[in-house]
Structure 1
Amino acid sequence: MSTLLQVRDLAVTFRQDGVESRAVKGVSFDLQKGETLALVGESGSGKSVTALSTVSLLGDAARVEGSVLYKDREMIGAPGKLLREVRGNDISFIFQEPMTSLNPLHTLEKQLGESLALHQGLTGDKARARILDLLDKVGIRDPESRLSAYPHQLSGGQRQRVMIAMALANGPDLLIADEPTTALDVTIQAQILELLAELKQAEHMSMLFITHDLNIVRRFADRVCVMKNGEIVEQGRTEEIFGNPQHDYTRMLISAESTGTPDPVAPQSEEVARADHLKIWFPIQKGFMKKTVGHVKAVNDASFSVRAGETVGVVGESGSGKTTLALAMMRLIQSEGGITYRGEDVRGWSTRRLRKLRSEIQIVFQDPFGSLSPRMTCEQIIAEGLGVHGSPDGKPARQAVEEVMREVGMDPATMHRYPHEFSGGQRQRIAIARAMVLRPRLVVLDEPTSALDMTVQVQIVNLLRELQRKYDLAYLFISHDLKVVRAMSHKIIVMKQGDVVEMGEAEQVFARPETDYTRKLFAAAFDLAG
C-alpha cells in the first residue's frame, strides 16, 4: 500500500490584531492509498485547520510551516497552477455547513454543472445525466424535479447531500470529509456512509474523515488520530484505539454519551400548546399566471400536545415535515387546523397579540453560527429580544444578559465578543441564552446538538434538562440523533413524508416500535451506534 498523503511537523499560526495564536502544533501522520483515516477531537482541537492546510485553503491570515506531500508533491508553498489542478479534482472537500458552501443565487444543476464543465469538460445532456446520477446516488428523491431548485428550497439534510454529490463529481483520489453527515438523519446517514465506503472500495479512493461522532469512526475508519489543542495525542488502528485507549483524553471522548431519562412530568401539569388536525400544504405554481398545479404536502393531519415540564421529541428523515410542524406551531407559517396555546385558539390572533405569544415561544436553531449575526456582540444578540418585548421581570438589559449567561454556563466577561470568537458549543449556549432571556414557556429545539462534538452534546443536553427543571419548560425537540432524543424526550412523534406514522410515550416507542418505518429508523441509528 503506497502513501498518498504525508504530513510532517505541520504547524499553523493565525495572526489577528497583532496577536498570534497557534492552532496546529507539530502534527504528523500518513494516509495510505485506499485508506480511511479519521481525525477526531473536540471543537477547536485543530482538525479542520489541519485538513484545510493540505491544499493551502487557509488564506493569508495563516502561517503554515512543515511539510504536506501529496503523491510526493509538496503542497505548502506550491504554485497556484498546481494547487488549482489538485483542488476539486484530485482532492475534494465535503464541508460541514452546506448553506454557507452552496451559492444561494444558483440552481443545483448550475452548481454541479460548473464543476463537471471545469474538470471534465461535460456540458449539455451528458452533464445533466451525470448530475442526475450523482443526486440519485446521494439519496435525493425525484432528482429531475430538483435540478432547478435553489439551496434555500432544500432541507438541511438535502443540502448536505448536494455537497457530497459535488465532491464526488470528479472521482477524486482523496476525499476530505469535514463532518459530512452532521445534518443528515440516521437512515440517510447510513446510506451516505455506505455509499462512501463503496466508492472508496470501487475507486480505491482514500478518505480523511473529520467527525465528532465516534460511532461512525468505530465503524468506518481504518485508523484514527486523536487531536487535542492542536496536537495529536494518540493515533493507531481503530480497533486498538477503541479497545485499549492509552491517553486520558481519548478515554474521555469514547465514554462521552447522552444517557439517562428526563424528569417525570407532574400529573396536573398545564397543557402549554396543542395542535389539532394540523395541515400544511405548499402550492406548486407554474406558468406566467402562476397556476396551482399541485401541492407539496409538508404536514398531513398532525395532532399532539405538549405540557409544562414535558419534552415531545419529533423524529423522521430529512424533509419529513419536522421543522415545518414546529414553525406552524409558532405561527411563523400558515396552516390549517387548530393551534391552541394555553387554552386559547391563536389562529385568528392579530399581530399585536401574536407579539406576546412570540415572547413566550422561542426557538434554538440547528446551526448556531448561521443563526447568530456576525456583526453583533454576544450581549447584543442575547439582548435583542428584550428590545422588542421588554424584560419579563423588569431588570435592566445588561443585568438580564449577565444572569442568563451564567445560567447557560458562559462567563459574562465575554459578552463583548463576536460569534466567531467562540467555539461551536459556546455559540450554541449563546443561542440558548437568547431564547431563555425572555423566560419562555415553550422552546422549539431544532437539531440543537447536531453540529456539536460528543462531549459538548452531553453538556448541552444536561443544560437543557437543568433549564427545563428550573423553569418547568415545555420543549418541542427535533432531532435525527435518536440517542439524544431518548435521553431528552417524554413522548415521541415519528414523521414520514408529512404523515405522523407513530406517536406515544418515548419508553414504549423505543422498546416496541409499531411501524416498519420506525423500526428502520431505530435499526439505522443503533446499528451505527453499535
Structure 2
Amino acid sequence: MHSTPDTLDILNIENLCISSLQKTLVTNASLKVKPGKITCLIGESGAGKSLISHAILKLTDKNIKQQGLIQIDQKTISDYSETKMQSVRGSLVSMIFQDPLSSLNPCHTIEQQLAEAIEIHQHRKPKREELCQKLQDVDLSHHLLTLYPHQLSGGQRQRVMIAIALANCPKLLIADECTTALDVCTQQQILDLLKHLSTKNNLSVLLITHNLNIVRYISDDVYVIQNGQIIDHLPTYNLHHSTHPYTQALIAAYALPKHTPVISHETLLIVSDLSVAFPQKQLLFKRSQPPLITGIHFELKKSRNLGIIGESGAGKSTLAKALLEIMPYQGSIQFHYQSPLKIQYVFQDSSASLNPRYTIGNTLKEAIMLSKQLNSNVEQVLQSVNLNPDIINQYPHQLSGGQKQRINLARALISQCPVIILDEPTSALDAKNQKDMIQLLKKLQSEYQITYIVITHEVQLVESLCTDLMVLKHGKLIDFGATHDVLYQHHHPYIDQLVNASLLKR
C-alpha cells in the first residue's frame, strides 16, 4: 500500500537525543503525528516534554546538543540552519505556550501583533478584514483588534495566541501546557476550539500536558514519557488498558482519595455580609462601579477545610484579600482566635513570592520576626515539609518549583497561624506531585492543627482536601455547604457546568 499525502506523518521524530554538558536529557525518542490528528505527550514534570517541543523548533539553549531525525511535512528540519528555521517557525509549524501574557508584546495592540505575524512570512500587509476574520476563526470579536494584551481576559489572550499561531496556515501546531493558567470553563472552551480547528483545517496538533483528563478529552493517541524516554504509545481509547507499569502508575496517581468530612464545633472565623467595591475617586461625574464581591457570608470551623471555586473573575482572590485585610471592605470579619498574624497566604506563583536576594534561611528568619514566634524551629519546619535543612543556604533560583512551593508552606507554618489560605496549590503539578502535595498538606494539618482555605478551580482537589465548599460567580455566593452536597446534590446549573468542565466530561 502506497502512502498518500493524507496518510503521511506531518511530524516524524526518530531517535531524538538531547543532552547538556552534564547529562543526557532525552534518549532515543521517536514520535509521530498524523494529518488532522491530535497527539498528546504526557509525563511528570522534568520528564523532557517541553525539551522535545523546543527541539522540534530548534529553540533549545546553546549549551544543549540534539541529535536524531526531525521531519515536518516530509521536510528534514533537523538539518536546517537558524536562518532557514526562522522561515519555518510560524509558517510550517507554530507553537503556543502556557502563559499567553508573557508571549504577547504589552506595547502593541492585538491588530499590530496579528498583522506582524502575516507580514514576516507573507511579505505583505494584511487588510483589516482579513485580521477580523482571523479573530472570528477563534471565536473573538473584531473589536479586540484595538486593545492591548492586559485589557483581555486569560482565555481571550490564549485565543489571540492561537489566531497568531495559525495566521499562516501551518501544518503542525505545538501546544505546550496551553490551558494550565486558565480556569476550568475557559480551559474546556480552548480545548473545544483546538478540536474544531483540527477538524476544520486538517490541522495536526502535538499537545503537551500533565493532565490526564485533557488527554482523554481531546487526543487521538498518546505518548508517555519518563525520564527522557518515551516508554509507551497507544490510542487514547486504549489508555486504561496499557500494560506498562509507569502508565498504570500515572493513571493510578490521578485517582485522588476522597476527603473524610470532619465534625467540628469550634468556630475560627465568621464572615457576615462582606462586600468589596472599587475605590471611588471624588470626581464631579462619578461612574458607579459594580462591587467586586457582595453579600458573602460563611463560617470557618476548625479542621474543616474550606474550598472556594469559581471561574476567573468570580471574586476568589478578592475575598482572600479582604480576609487578609489588605483590601478595604464592608461587612464583618470576626476572628475567634488570638494570633499576631491572623491569616497566612501561600501564593500560586511560588517563584514570584520569594525574594531572589534572600537565602532561604533569611526568608524564614524574616517570617519569624514578623510573626513574633521566636521559638519557631526552622530545622523542624523544613523537615516537616520534606526538605533538607541544608537548603537554608541556597537562593530561590537554585531550587525546583516544588521546593519553592514547600518553602512558601514552611514560611506560613513558622507563624503558627491557625488559618492558611492556599491559592491554586496544585495547578502547575502533574498527577503524582499533586497527590504528594495533598498528602503533605494533610500531614501538616494534623501536625500543626491548622485549617486551610483553598482557592482552586479543580473539583478533584476540593473533594480530596475540603470538608466545606463555597461557589462564587461574578462576585456573588452561589452556594455554601458540605463539599459533596454542593457539588452533586444541589444541582445548580452553574455548579454542574463547573464540575463537568473540571472533569472534562463530554
1:175 maps to 2:156: no
SS in 2 for 1:56: coil
Structure 1 stretch displaced more, 447-456 or 306-315: 306-315
The separation in 2 between residues aligned to 1:130 and 1:63, in whole angstroms, is 41
Whichever residue aligns with residue 281 of structure 1, its letter is: A
Kindly state the Cα deviation for residue 516 of structure 1 after the two structures are TM-superposed.
Answer: 1.3
SS in 1 for 2:457: coil
The separation in 1 between residues aligned to 2:280 and 2:108, in whole angstroms, is 20
Contact 1:91 1:172 in 2 (8 A): yes
Kindly state the Cα deviation for residue 308 of structure 1 after the two structures are TM-superposed.
Answer: 2.4
Partner of 1:276: 272
Superposition pairs for residues 472-511 of structure 1, below 5 Å?
472-511=449-488
The separation in 1 between residues aligned to 2:112 and 2:47, in whole angstroms, is 36
Partner of 1:52: 54
Identify the match of residue 342 of structure 1 among 336, 351, 373.
Answer: 336
Partner of 1:293: 287
Structure 1 stretch displaced more, 116-125 or 81-90: 116-125
1:282-326: CA deviations, max 9, x gaps?
36999xx79643425421221122222121111111111111211
Contact 2:138 2:162 in 1 (8 A): no
Identify the match of residue 136 of structure 2 among 123, 133, 139.
Answer: 133
Partner of 2:350: 368
Identify the match of residue 297 of structure 2 among 296, 303, 313.
Answer: 303
1:385 maps to 2:384: no
1:15-35: CA deviations, max 9, x gaps?
3xxxx1222122111222212
Normalization by structure 2: what TM-score? 0.89
Kindly state the Cα deviation for residue 8 of structure 1 after the two structures are TM-superposed.
Answer: 1.7
The separation in 2 between residues aligned to 1:435 and 1:212, in whole angstroms, is 28
Partner of 2:407: 430
Whichever residue aligns with residue 11 of structure 2, its letter is: L
Contact 2:36 2:204 in 1 (8 A): yes
The separation in 2 between residues aligned to 1:488 and 1:49, in whole angstroms, is 33
Kindly state the Cα deviation for residue 230 of structure 1 after the two structures are TM-superposed.
Answer: 0.7
SS in 2 for 1:309: coil
Unmatched segments (≥5 aa) in structure 1: 345-355
The separation in 1 between residues aligned to 2:284 and 2:72, in whole angstroms, is 53
Partner of 1:350: none
Whichever residue aligns with residue 228 of structure 1, its letter is: Q
Contact 1:177 1:207 in 2 (8 A): yes
The separation in 2 between residues aligned to 1:487 and 1:428, in whole angstroms, is 19
Contact 1:226 1:250 in 2 (8 A): yes
SS in 1 for 2:454: strand
Kindly state the Cα deviation for residue 453 of structure 1 after the two structures are TM-superposed.
Answer: 0.3
Whichever residue aligns with residue 178 of structure 2, its letter is: P
Kindly state the Cα deviation for residue 440 of structure 1 after the two structures are TM-superposed.
Answer: 2.2
Distance 1:208 1:334, change over 3 A: same
Identify the match of residue 245 of structure 1 among 242, 246, 251.
Answer: 242
1:323 maps to 2:326: no
SS in 2 for 1:451: coil
Identify the match of residue 223 of structure 1 among 195, 198, 221.
Answer: 221
1:198-226: CA deviations, max 9, x gaps?
10000111111111111211222122111
Superposition pairs for residues 198-213 of structure 1, below 5 Å?
198-213=196-211
Structure 1 stretch displaced more, 379-388 or 469-478: 379-388
Partner of 2:81: 79
Normalization by structure 1: what TM-score? 0.85
Superposition pairs for residues 17-56 of structure 1, below 5 Å?
20-56=22-58
SS in 1 for 2:200: helix
Q: How many residues align?
A: 499
Whichever residue aligns with residue 193 of structure 1, its letter is: L
Distance 1:284 1:165, change over 3 A: farther
CA RMSD of aligned residues (A): 3.0
The separation in 1 between residues aligned to 2:446 and 2:476, in whole angstroms, is 31
Contact 1:494 1:502 in 2 (8 A): yes
The separation in 1 between residues aligned to 2:41 and 2:318, in whole angstroms, is 35
Contact 2:101 2:149 in 1 (8 A): no
1:464 maps to 2:441: yes
1:329-364: CA deviations, max 9, x gaps?
1122222222223379xxxxxxxxxxx75x342222
The separation in 1 between residues aligned to 2:504 and 2:57, in whole angstroms, is 35
SS in 2 for 1:293: coil
Whichever residue aligns with residue 270 of structure 1, its letter is: T
1:412-449: CA deviations, max 9, x gaps?
33444444544433332233223222222221111110
Identify the match of residue 233 of structure 2 among 228, 231, 235.
Answer: 235
1:6 maps to 2:2: no
SS in 2 for 1:9: strand
Kindly state the Cα deviation for residue 40 of structure 1 after the two structures are TM-superposed.
Answer: 0.8
What is the percentage of aligned positions where both structures have the same residue?
Answer: 34
Whichever residue aligns with residue 411 of structure 2, its letter is: R
Unmatched segments (≥5 aa) in structure 2: 1-6
Contact 2:114 2:131 in 1 (8 A): no
Distance 1:388 1:267, change over 3 A: closer
The separation in 2 between residues aligned to 1:444 and 1:106, in whole angstroms, is 36
The separation in 1 between residues aligned to 2:434 and 2:382, in whole angstroms, is 18
Contact 2:13 2:30 in 1 (8 A): yes
The separation in 2 between residues aligned to 1:369 and 1:165, in whole angstroms, is 30
Partner of 1:394: 375
Distance 1:80 1:526, change over 3 A: closer
The separation in 2 between residues aligned to 1:373 and 1:117, in whole angstroms, is 41
The separation in 2 between residues aligned to 1:337 and 1:112, in whole angstroms, is 46
Greater strand proportion: 1
SS in 2 for 1:325: helix
Whichever residue aligns with residue 234 of structure 1, its letter is: D
